[in-house]
């Protein structure tokens, strides 16, 4: 089965935004949009679901503060409650102000790093990953919208030509 | 144009009337002398300290009675047995016992003096209570309008593109400043005229017996102190007056000259403000505990009233918006205000903790007493303020959707404002009323009075000028602001 897609290439982000809106209004399925920089409002125009990365980060932060608390409670209070410079180590709460800087840093550390790792995993990014850009110009000054073809190639090409595309290509994908 | 709704006006009058009644009640019921204090303490269940004292003294009285009985018996023995052998012994015994009795009496005198001293101490605290309640509410509302003024000046200088639609709201809130300043200044003069005992360094008796305060009299003396207060208040009010005036003049102008003028005076004001704010915090708050000092205190006070000011802007904006007066204010503006509320709540906590932790960690006696008093006597308000000003806002306002929902913001705002009232309460009460604190009629009535005055003044001012600046260079951007 042939799996064709159309690459519509634009050279302005405003035209791209209009094209995305028109394409969505005409009920053509946009597979992907490639852009050299973040286009404000593009995700909304494409109808993408909002990211849940912030929720992940909050939960990772909770993990971080738990790790810090459990660690210091075990080391400083349970395992070897030594008198160090007169600091009260009878219970965690008594010596808590001294632990707060670490609790704070661990919360930030966990939230930040685990969120970044989550982002890499969800976006499938890693050092030796094969680059996926369909046209090298999309990293420089061109925008590319990839639209799937469902036996309506002629109609789709002519439609995309009306949206201000500087170039429309039909590509066989495998 | 906004019209001051008659319901709100009536509401503010009711608040002021109730407040005045309560304030009057507080002053009338304050004890006049130590006899009254003794009665209050006897009736009060939480005067545990005094009860112990009473027990001690009654015990010693009982012991004395026993000794007296014993002596009588001895004397009787002496009377019946007139033998010489025993006489000497008895005399010695009697002499010893008289001596014991004298010592006992002496102890009792000491205890009585101590007891009286204690009662005088409590009397001073109780007489301070209505004054301190008034002072906390007065400075709290004065500084809220200062927080708004500082925020307003920052928005001007930063050329913020989102906030010009809110400038008139901010100007309306800062209209409280002249009123608050006058009341506050009169209050400071009353302190100087010894109507109350809030600032102990104003009492020459105290200074004469206190070497630490005596060495600070070069700074802490009434004429210098009141002159500083006058300069600060006049400076702030001048900026407020000219800034609002220029903003209105810009509406009718043909060029941006008034805008530029406002930009310049705002920049100048911010420099003046940060210096005077710091000194203000030493003069009006830190000098209540004249033995104690902290370097970041000025910033800490600033953070507290700055976040309250921003919260107040958000509250007034939400109110006006709900009444349909701010058509160009959208949820993105509200969202931005909520972000500031969130961010500065965290900033306040950062300073609160930095001040507390540094002193707790080093535990230097002359510094730590400040926190020992607060933790032992004000445990709930001291830590409750952290919960209200940090834990609650950080959990509620961290969510971006919540920052656009009116009822959530109103709830968070009320908690933040109440929390920062408690914060000022914690700063001022321990040095003035000590363990005689209570959030009762005096405290609530003072807040109600100033709240009523604040609402009346602010909404009267809002009704005087259009709620949308006309020719501000950023007004179009601000109208279409979205985040």
pLDDT of B51 higher than 70: no
Q: How far apart are CA B250 and CA B69, in angstroms?
A: 93
pLDDT of A124 higher than 70: yes
Pick B111 or B275 by higher pLDDT.
Answer: B275
- Tell me the pLDDT tens digit for each residue of A98-117: 999 999 999 999 999 999 99
Predicted pLDDT of residue B474: 93
Q: Which of A54, A58, A97 is closest, CB to CB, to B356? A: A97
Cβ count within 10 A of residue A78: 12
pLDDT of B37 higher than 80: yes
Question: If we measure between CA atoms, which residue out of A139, A129, A108, A110 comes closest to residue A34?
Answer: A139
- Between chains, do A54 and B361 touch, taking CB under 8 Å as contact? no
Predicted pLDDT of residue B61: 42
Predicted pLDDT of residue B46: 52
Residue at token pair 């000491």: B110
Predicted pLDDT of residue A2: 65
- Between chains, do A97 and B398 touch, taking CB under 8 Å as contact? no
Q: What is the Cα B92 distance to its own chain's centre? A: 63
Q: Going by DSSP bridges, is the β-strand pair A143-148/A167-173 parallel, antiparallel, or unpaired?
A: unpaired
Phi, psi of B337 (to 5 degrees): -60, -40
Give the gap in angstroms from C-alpha B474 to the nearest C-alpha of chain A. Answer: 21
* Residues of chain B contacting residue A98, judged by C-beta atoms under 8 Å apart: 357, 361
- Tell me the pLDDT tens digit for each residue of B412-424: 999 999 999 999 9
Chain A nearest-CA residue for B482: A41
Chain B nearest-CA residue for A95: B361
Predicted pLDDT of residue B82: 43
Report the mean per-residue pLDDT for chain B.
88
Confidence of residue A10 (pLDDT cuts 50, 70, 90): very high
Give the gap in angstroms from C-alpha A127 to the nearest C-alpha of chain B. Answer: 33
Chain A nearest-CA residue for B356: A97
Chain B nearest-CA residue for A62: B395
* Residues of chain A contacting residue B360, judged by C-beta atoms under 8 Å apart: 97
- Between chains, do B357 and A97 touch, taking CB under 8 Å as contact? yes
| Interhelix angle B441-462/B176-192, nearest 10 degrees | 140
pLDDT of B84 higher than 60: no
* C-alpha distance from residue B310 to each of B173, B301, B318, B455, B477 (Å): 11, 14, 12, 16, 21
DSSP string covering B229-298: HHHHHHHHHHHHHHHHHHHHHHHT-SSSHHHHHHHHHHHHHHHHHHHHHHHHHHHHTGGGSTT---TTHH
Residue % of chain B over a pLDDT of 90: 76
pLDDT, average across residues A156-174: 88
pLDDT, average across residues B77-95: 46
Predicted pLDDT of residue B57: 43
Predicted pLDDT of residue B99: 54
What ipTM was assigned to the predicted interfaces of this complex? 0.90
pLDDT, average across residues B138-151: 97
Of A164-173, B30-39, B176-185, the least confident: B30-39
Question: If we measure between CA atoms, which residue out of A134, A141, A139, A136 comes closest to residue A172?
Answer: A134
Confidence of residue A7 (pLDDT cuts 50, 70, 90): very high
Interface of B with A in 334-373 (CB under 8 A): 353, 356-357, 360-361, 363
Q: Which of A54, A58, A97 is closest, CB to CB, to B360? A: A97
- Tell me the pLDDT tens digit for each residue of B385-394: 999 999 999 9
Residues B460-469 as b or e (16 or more Cβ within 10 Å = b): ebbeebebbb
Give the gap in angstroms from C-alpha B357 to the nearest C-alpha of chain A. Answer: 6
Of A124-128, A136-140, B89-93, the least confident: B89-93
- Tell me the pLDDT tens digit for each residue of B230-258: 999 999 999 999 999 999 999 999 999 99
pLDDT of B207 higher than 80: yes
pLDDT of B49 higher than 80: no
Q: CA angle at residue B102 from B97 to B104, to 5 degrees?
A: 95
Predicted pLDDT of residue B48: 47
- Tell me the pLDDT tens digit for each residue of A46-102: 999 999 999 999 999 999 999 999 999 999 999 999 999 999 999 999 999 999 999
Predicted pLDDT of residue B119: 87
- Tell me the pLDDT tens digit for each residue of B323-332: 999 999 999 9
Phi, psi of B154 (to 5 degrees): -65, -40
Residue B162's H or E segment, with its range, is: none
Q: How far apart are CA A119 and CA A76, in angstroms?
A: 35
Predicted pLDDT of residue A4: 87
* Residues of chain B contacting residue A100, judged by C-beta atoms under 8 Å apart: 353, 357
């Amino acid at each position: 089965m042939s799996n064709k897609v159309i690459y519509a290439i634009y050279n302005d982000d405003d035209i791209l935004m209009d094209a995305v809106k028109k394409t969505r209004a005409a009920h053509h399925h946009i597979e992907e949009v490639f852009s050299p920089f973040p286009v404000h409002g593009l995700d909304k125009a494409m109808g993408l679901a909002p990211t849940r990365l912030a929720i992940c980060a909050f939960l990772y932060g909770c993990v971080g503060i738990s790790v810090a608390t459990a660690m210091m409670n075990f080391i400083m209070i349970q395992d070897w409650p030594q008198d160090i410079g007169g600091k009260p180590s009878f219970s965690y709460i008594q010596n808590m102000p001294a632990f707060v800087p670490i609790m704070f840093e661990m919360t930030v550390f966990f939230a930040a790093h685990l969120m970044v790792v989550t982002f890499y995993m969800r976006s499938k990014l890693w050092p030796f990953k094969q680059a996926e850009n369909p046209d090298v110009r999309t990293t420089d000054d061109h925008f590319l919208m990839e639209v799937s073809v469902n036996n309506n190639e002629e109609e789709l090409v002519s439609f995309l030509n009306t949206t201000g595309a500087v170039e429309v290509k039909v590509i066989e994908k495998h | 144009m906004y019209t001051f709704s008659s319901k709100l006006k009536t509401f503010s009058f009711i608040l002021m009337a109730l407040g005045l009644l309560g304030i009057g009640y507080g002053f009338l019921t304050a004890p006049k002398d130590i006899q009254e204090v003794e009665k209050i303490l006897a009736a009060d269940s939480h005067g545990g300290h005094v009860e112990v004292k009473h027990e001690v003294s009654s015990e010693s009285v009982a012991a004395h009675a026993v000794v007296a009985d014993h002596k009588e018996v001895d004397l009787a023995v002496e009377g019946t047995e007139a033998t010489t052998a025993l006489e000497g012994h008895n005399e010695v015994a009697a002499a010893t016992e008289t001596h014991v009795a004298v010592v006992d009496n002496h102890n009792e005198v000491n205890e009585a003096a101590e007891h009286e001293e204690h009662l005088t101490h409590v009397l001073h605290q109780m007489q301070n209570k209505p004054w301190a309640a008034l002072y906390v509410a007065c400075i709290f509302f004065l500084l809220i309008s200062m927080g708004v003024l500082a925020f307003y000046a920052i928005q001007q200088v930063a050329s913020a593109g989102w906030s010009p639609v809110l400038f008139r709201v901010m100007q309306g809130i800062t209209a409280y400043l002249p009123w608050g300043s006058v009341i506050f200044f009169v209050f400071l003069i009353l302190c100087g005229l010894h109507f109350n005992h809030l600032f102990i360094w104003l009492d020459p008796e105290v200074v004469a017996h206190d070497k630490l305060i005596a060495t600070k009299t070069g700074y802490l003396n009434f004429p210098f102190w009141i002159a500083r207060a006058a300069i600060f208040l006049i400076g702030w009010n001048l900026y407020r007056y000219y800034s609002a005036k220029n903003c209105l003049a810009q509406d009718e102008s043909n060029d941006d000259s008034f805008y530029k003028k406002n930009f310049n005076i705002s920049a100048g004001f911010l420099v003046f403000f940060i210096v005077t704010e710091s000194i203000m915090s030493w003069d009006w708050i830190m000098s209540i505990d004249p033995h104690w000092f902290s370097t970041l205190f000025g910033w800490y006070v600033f953070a507290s009233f700055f976040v309250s000011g921003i919260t107040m802007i958000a509250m007034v904006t939400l109110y006006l918006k709900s009444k349909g007066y701010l058509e160009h204010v959208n949820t993105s503006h509200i969202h931005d205000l909520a972000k500031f509320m969130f961010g500065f709540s965290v900033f306040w906590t950062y300073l609160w903790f930095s001040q507390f932790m540094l002193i707790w960690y080093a535990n230097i006696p002359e510094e730590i007493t400040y926190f020992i008093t607060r933790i032992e006597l004000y445990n709930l308000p001291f830590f409750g303020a952290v919960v209200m000003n940090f834990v609650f806002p950080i959990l509620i306002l961290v969510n971006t959707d919540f920052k656009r929902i009116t009822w959530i913001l109103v709830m968070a705002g009320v908690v933040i404002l109440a929390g920062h009232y408690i914060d000022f309460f914690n700063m001022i009460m321990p040095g003035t009323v000590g363990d005689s604190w209570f959030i009762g009629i005096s405290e609530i009535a003072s807040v109600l009075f100033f709240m009523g005055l604040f609402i009346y003044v602010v909404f009267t001012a809002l009704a005087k000028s259009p709620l949308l600046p006309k020719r501000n260079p950023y007004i179009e951007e601000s109208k279409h602001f979205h985040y």
